[in-house]
Structure 1
């Protein structure tokens, strides 16, 4: 092709149109009927629980087994506490031990004016377990009941009193 022929508008159109036409023809050649075999699908059981517990499930399990009845509260106060008081105290005790800053008490309030606070010390490593000193104060009917001790977090995440003083 000479220079004047290359600039001819018809040559430029055919130069662009030729690949487009080739693609269109190639697409037409593959539009025949294709059969796809379908295999019946057997429904699989759906897991209702995650295989690994989430952090919320771990916290809930540990909270339920970190009971103030196991030495975290003065027994005289425990005898005067309602179920709501115990639930609030359990929660405060767990969160103070698990996440609390040393010296920053975690407050709780229960039924009929019953209140309390849990203060913790720094983490200390004992026999490969995380341990903390704690002070749990419960106020029932104007009287303060104070329980001090040391709690360690077991391998399963539960906190247990290992040493307690009245």
Structure 2
């Protein structure tokens, strides 16, 4: 046997000896536990997560769509654009446009930026593109969600 084996063998035997157990079993008694009532508090969602109470609180007539396009849109076009605008602002991912289609080939898309806190309000940049009769109308701006849940344009450009 070489020297390292002679040195390691007693250490190995000592380590194994430490693993053996000759202890006696000790019984531990425990006092009865009285269960406390569990009070479950509902998690309060943030306003961006509150899907059930979210309601359509935008109006494309208030600066979300180019006025020239708005004059050419039907009621269905307006409803579809309004819905897309709201859901893009409320739940949209930055850079993922929300598409919509109305009557007579009118289409559009709404793209939003990330949420930004301004004066304790959630705000987002948006770009709403409407295509009517082959012409694109683009409206860019910033919208903020007021305390009552309404989205309002605070800055807009054509």
Q: Where on the TM-score scale, by shorter chain, does this alignment land: which range?
A: 0.5 to 0.7
TM-score if structure 1 supplies the norm length? 0.64
Q: Secondary structure at the match of 1:79?
A: helix
Distance 2:99 2:74 in 1: 17
Q: Compared with structure 1, are the counterparts of its residues 55 and 101 closer, same or farther at alpha carbon in structure 2 (3 Å cutoff)?
A: closer
The residue aligned with 2:54 is: 59
The residue aligned with 1:89 is: 81
| 1:116 is the counterpart of 2:108 | yes
- What are the ranges of 5 or more consecutive residues in structure 2 without an aligned counterpart? 1-49
Deviation at 1:156, TM superposition (A): 0.7
The residue aligned with 1:26 is: none
Distance 1:84 1:164 in 2: 24
The residue aligned with 2:65 is: 73
Distance 1:55 1:133 in 2: 21
- What are the ranges of 5 or more consecutive residues in structure 1 without an aligned counterpart? 1-53
Distance 1:126 1:132 in 2: 10
The residue aligned with 1:136 is: 128
Match for residue 160 of structure 1 among 149, 152, 157: 152
Larger Rg: 1
TM-score if structure 2 supplies the norm length? 0.67
User: Which string of whole-angstrom CA distances, capped at 9 and with x for unpartnered residues, describes residues 93-120 of structure 1?
Assistant: 0000000000000000000000000000
Deviation at 1:55, TM superposition (A): 4.6
Distance 1:77 1:150 in 2: 19
Deviation at 1:75, TM superposition (A): 0.1
Match for residue 97 of structure 2 among 89, 102, 105: 105
Which consecutive aligned stretches of 4+ in structure 1 deviate over 3 angstroms post-superposition?
A: none
| Number of aligned residue pairs | 109
